[in-house]
Amino acid sequence: MSKRNPDAVDTSRLEAKLALLTEQNHELRIINQLATELHQLNDVKAVTDYVASTLASMLGFEDCAIFLMDAEHQQLVRFSAAGSRNLSDGLGYSILSLDQGIVGFCASQRQSLLVEDTRQCTYYLLDVAHSLSELAVPVIDTGEVLAVIDCEHHQTGYFTQQHQQLLEQVASILASKLRWLQTLSQLEESVEKLEYAEKLQKSLYEIASFAYFADDLSEFYSHVHQVVSALIYAPNFFIALYDEDKEHLYFPYFVDTRGDQKPEQVYPKEILKNSLTGYVFRTDRPLLVNREQLNNLYQQKDLKVYGETPECWLGVPFHSGDSVHGVVAVQSYIEQIHYEPNDLELLTFVAQHISNALERVFSERKLQHQALHDSLTGLPNRALFLDRVHHAFLRMQRFPEQQLAVMYLDLDKFKAVNDTHGHAVGDAFLVAVGKQLKQCMRQSDTLARLGGDEFAILLEDVDELATIEEVAQRILLSLQRPVEVNGQALLASTSIGISFCQLDAPGLIPDELIRRADIAMYQAKKDGRGIYRVYDESMQADEIPGWNIEQALKTALNDNQLQLVYQPIVALEGSIVQGFEALVRWPHPEQGMVMPDLFIPIAEQSRLIVRLDHYVLRKALRQAAYWFAAGHRFYVSVNVSGTTVSEASFVPWLQELIQQFGIPCYCLALELTERALIENMLQAKDSLQQLRKLGIRILLDDFGTGYSSLSYLSEFRLDVLKIDRSFINNMQDDEQDHPIVNTIIALAKTLQLSVVAEGIETQQQQHVLHRLGCDYGQGYLFAKPLSAEQALDWLTGYRA
C-alpha cells in the first residue's frame, strides 16, 4: 500500500479555497460595483435597468426581470428586464397579481423562492419561453415589499444558495436605493406642490387685484392670459360672452395660433347649438376633452368644428349678472400636450375672477348709465344733457363756426292722456313720443328727457336759424299724426322753445342757453300751444306765472338745496315715540325759506313732483338707516303725491332703494292724501297693495278735508288715518261734544285702522283725543319739526 503525497492534498485544498475566494471576490466586486453605480443614479428606471443588466451579464443568468409593486400594493409591474425577457411592451407578462406565478408568491410570502425544477412547482407561470429553474427574491424595506428580482434559466438546478444569498444582498441595496428615491420623489413632489400652490396663489391674487382695479377689460383679459400662460399651456386662449338681451355670442378676447376672431364680430344664438363653446353654455358645466372624445361628441351631439380640431380642449363656464354668461377656454393642437383635472381646477378659479371683474365693470356701467339716463325712455337725463351742452360750448370755443342751439319741449296734452287712460298708458305714450322725436333729429343731435313730459334737444354744428327751425317743423308735423300705444291711437302736441347760440352772443353760458329755451317754450304755450318760439330778449320770464319758482326748484333739486325736518309721532297712552314724519323745507340762498304751500303746487303742475318725491324719499331713507343702525326701531313717514305712487315703476324703485340702505321695510311709512287716491284709483290701488305686501305702512293724510264720499275707503287697504289739524284746533273743553273727530275715530276703528291726530298743542287736546280713542298724535305739545340732529337730542331727553 502506497503512501499519499501530502503535497498533493495541500494543493487540492488550496485550489478549492482559491476557487471559493475567487467566487467570493467576484460576488464582492458585483456588490461593490452595484453599490457604487447605484449611488450615482437618481432615476428609478435607470436603477432597475442597471441592476437587471448587471445580474444577467456578470452572473451569466439567461434573463433577469425586476417587478415593482404598484401604489395600491395589489399588482407587480415588470419595470426592467435583461436577457430573454428584455421584451417590447405587450409581450410576456408585464403585470402580475399577488397570486400569479413564482413572482407573485414571493411577494405575498415576503421571502425568497429558489425553484430547482419549475416542472415540479405549482406556482410556475409559463412566460415567453419555458425555463426549468427560477430564483425570485423580494426587495423589502421596513416590512414593505417594494419589488421582486426574478431570474430564470433553461437548466434545472442552475441557481444555488450562493446565488440566492447574492441576490438577497443585491435586494437589500436595491431596497435602500428605491426607498431613498421614493422619499426624494415625495419631497420633490411636495416642494413642487408647494411651489405650484405659492405660484398659483400669487397668480390668482394678481388676477383678483387686477379684476378689482381694471377699467379697461381688454387689458384685464390680456393680463389674465399672461398669468394663465405661466401656469399651464395656453398659447390658445379665449373668452366668449353671450348676451341674452341681444341674443348673440361674441369673443372680447381671442388669441389662437391657428385662427383669429375680431372682438366686434358677433354670432347669432344658433351657433350655441353645435359648437364646443355652445355645449358648455348649454350644459353649464366644464368640459375637458381630447380629440377622440371630441369625435364622439361630434357624432353624438352633432357638434360642428369651427376652425382646426384641437388635440385637447378645456372650457369652463361662468356667470356675470343676470343676462351675461361666459366661457373661458384653452386648447392644444399638439398631440403630446393634454390638459389635466388640476388645469380644470385652475381655469375654474380664473373663470370666477373673470366673472367678478365683469360683474363689477358691468355694474359700474349699469349704474353710470342709470345715473345719466332716464329709466323710462332710456334717453339721456338732465345731468347728461347738461354735460353735453357744456362740452358743446367747449368745442364751439375751439371751433367758432360750430354753433349750437337748444330746444325745450313740453307735451301739451299729456295730462289728458294720463287722466283718460292711466299712468301705465301715459308711460308708454312718453316712450313712443321719445322714439318719434328721435326720428326727426339728425344723427349728431342729442335728445333728452328732463322729467315728466319735458324733453330737450341739443343741436350741434348748425350754421343758421333756418336749420334749427326746420327740425322744429319736422317735430310739430310728426306729432300731428296719432301715436300708436298698446293698440290705441293717441294724439300728441308739443310746445317748443328754441335758444340759438350765435357767434355774436359773447358771455352766454350753457345754463343761460337752456334757461332761454325754457322761457321760449313758456312763450309758445302762452301763444297757443302746438307751436315753436325762438327766444328773444323781449320775452320776460317774470311775466310767466310760476316760471321763476319752477326753475329755481329745478336748481334746488340739482344742487341738493332742499332739507328735511322731522316731527315726532307719539302714542297718546304711554307717550312712546312711534315714528317721525319727514317734512321738506327749501332754504333759498337768496329769498330765504320758501314755504311748501308755495312750491309744492307748482311742482305738481310741472310734474317736478316726481323728482321731488324721489329726492325726499332718498334723504329720509338715508336718515332712517342711520337711526336704525343706532338701535332705534321707529318708522319715518314721507308724504308722496298721487302722481308718483301711480307710476308703474315706483314700487320696484322704492324696494330697490330700501335694499340699498339695508333697512327693513317697516322703517318706512308713506302718507297720501285723499285726492292722491281718487285721481287714479286703479293704479293707486295696485301700488298700495304691493307696498303693503312689502311691509310698508300706508297713512291717509289730512282725512276729512277732501272728498265728501267715504266709499273709496273700502277700495283701499290702509293702516292709519290722520285727522287734519283743522279739526283739532277747537278742541279745548273736555266736556264739549266733538262729533266730527268722534265720527272719524269711530270710522277708523270700524275699518280696523289706527288714528293719528295732527296739530296737538295742549295737554287738554291730548287728554280729549285719548278719551275718544285716538291712538297717536303729533304737534307742538311734543315737539316742533326738528333737524335730524335735534330729533336725536330730543329723543334722548324725551326718553330720559
pLDDT in tens, 295-320: 887 877 667 777 888 999 999 998 76
| pLDDT band of 734, cuts 50, 70, 90 | low
Query: Does pTM top 0.85 for this prediction?
Result: no
Residue 38 CB: number of other CB atoms within 10 A? 22
* pLDDT at 503 exceeding the cut of 50: yes
Q: What is the pLDDT of residue 90?
A: 45
Cα angle value 159/165/171 (rounded, 5°): 105
* Mean pLDDT, residues 400-425 taken together: 80
Q: Please check whether residue 587 is in contact with residue 563, taking contact to mean a CB–CB distance below 8 angstroms.
A: yes
In this predicted structure, which of 48-62, 525-539, 730-744, 779-793 has the lowest mean pLDDT? Answer: 730-744
Q: What is the mean pLDDT of the chain?
A: 83
* pLDDT at 41 exceeding the cut of 60: yes
| pLDDT band of 551, cuts 50, 70, 90 | confident
| pLDDT band of 708, cuts 50, 70, 90 | very low
C-alpha cell at 400: 367758432
Cα angle value 377/381/383 (rounded, 5°): 170
In this predicted structure, which of 18-27, 474-483, 554-563, 602-611 has the lowest mean pLDDT? Answer: 18-27
* pLDDT at 706 exceeding the cut of 60: no
Q: Which amino acid is at 229?
A: S
User: Is pLDDT larger for residue 724 or for residue 769?
Assistant: 769
| Structure letter (DSSP) for residue 442 | -
Q: Please check whether residue 136 is in contact with residue 102, taking contact to mean a CB–CB distance below 8 angstroms.
A: yes
DSSP 732-780: --TTS--HHHHHHHHHHHHTT-EEEEE---SHHHHHHHHHHT--EEEST
Percent of the chain with pLDDT over 90: 29
3-state secondary structure of 304: coil
Handedness of CA 765, 768, 770, 774 (dihedral sign): negative
DSSP 41-97: ---HHHHHHHHHHHHHHHS--SEEEEEEEPTTSSEEEEEEEEETT---TTSS--EEE
Q: What is the pLDDT of residue 10?
A: 65
CA max distance for the chain = 170
| pLDDT band of 543, cuts 50, 70, 90 | very low
Q: What is the pLDDT of residue 114?
A: 95
Q: Under 8 Å CB-to-CB from 3, ≥6 apart: which residues?
A: none
Q: Which amino acid is at 570?
A: V
Using CA atoms, how far residue 751 sits from 453, 507, 570, 710, 718, in Å, is 38, 63, 22, 12, 9
Q: Tens digits of per-residue pLDDT, 117-142?
A: 999 998 888 876 788 999 999 999 98
3-state secondary structure of 332: strand
Q: Tens digits of per-residue pLDDT, 636-679?
A: 999 998 888 888 788 999 999 999 999 999 999 999 887 777 76
C-alpha cell at 305: 368644428
Q: What is the pLDDT of residue 25?
A: 59
C-alpha cell at 371: 345715473
Q: Tens digits of per-residue pLDDT, 156-178?
A: 999 999 889 889 988 998 999 89
* pLDDT at 765 exceeding the cut of 50: yes
How distant is the alpha carbon of residue 91 from its chain centre? 57
Q: What are phi and psi of 563, to 5 degrees?
A: -125, 160
Which range has highest mean pLDDT (285-289, 479-483, 551-555)?
285-289
CA distance 407 to 303: 56
Report the side by side order of strands in the sheet with 454-462: 446-451, 454-462, 403-411, 494-501, 532-534
User: Is pLDDT larger for residue 457 or for residue 796?
Assistant: 457
* pLDDT at 146 exceeding the cut of 90: yes
* Mean pLDDT, residues 271-288 taken together: 87
User: Comparing C-alpha atoms, which of 411, 377, 403 is closest to residue 508?
Assistant: 403
In this predicted structure, which of 43-47, 287-291, 480-484, 569-573 has the lowest mean pLDDT? Answer: 480-484
Which residue in this structure is represented by grid cell 334746488? 556
Q: What is the pLDDT of residue 709?
A: 45
Cα angle value 620/625/631 (rounded, 5°): 130
* Mean pLDDT, residues 490-506 taken together: 80
* pLDDT at 1 exceeding the cut of 60: no
Could you give the count of Cα atoms lying within 13 Å of 34 in the half-sphere of its Cβ? 30
CA distance 551 to 495: 17
Q: What are phi and psi of 220, to 5 degrees?
A: -65, -45
Percent of the chain with pLDDT over 70: 84
**SS in 3 state form for 678-706?**
HHCHHHHHHHHHHHHHHCCEEEEEEECCC
* pLDDT at 9 exceeding the cut of 60: no
DSSP element (H, E) containing 431: helix 423-439
C-alpha cell at 589: 340762498
Q: Please check whether residue 767 is in contact with residue 734, taking contact to mean a CB–CB distance below 8 angstroms.
A: yes
C-alpha cell at 609: 313732483
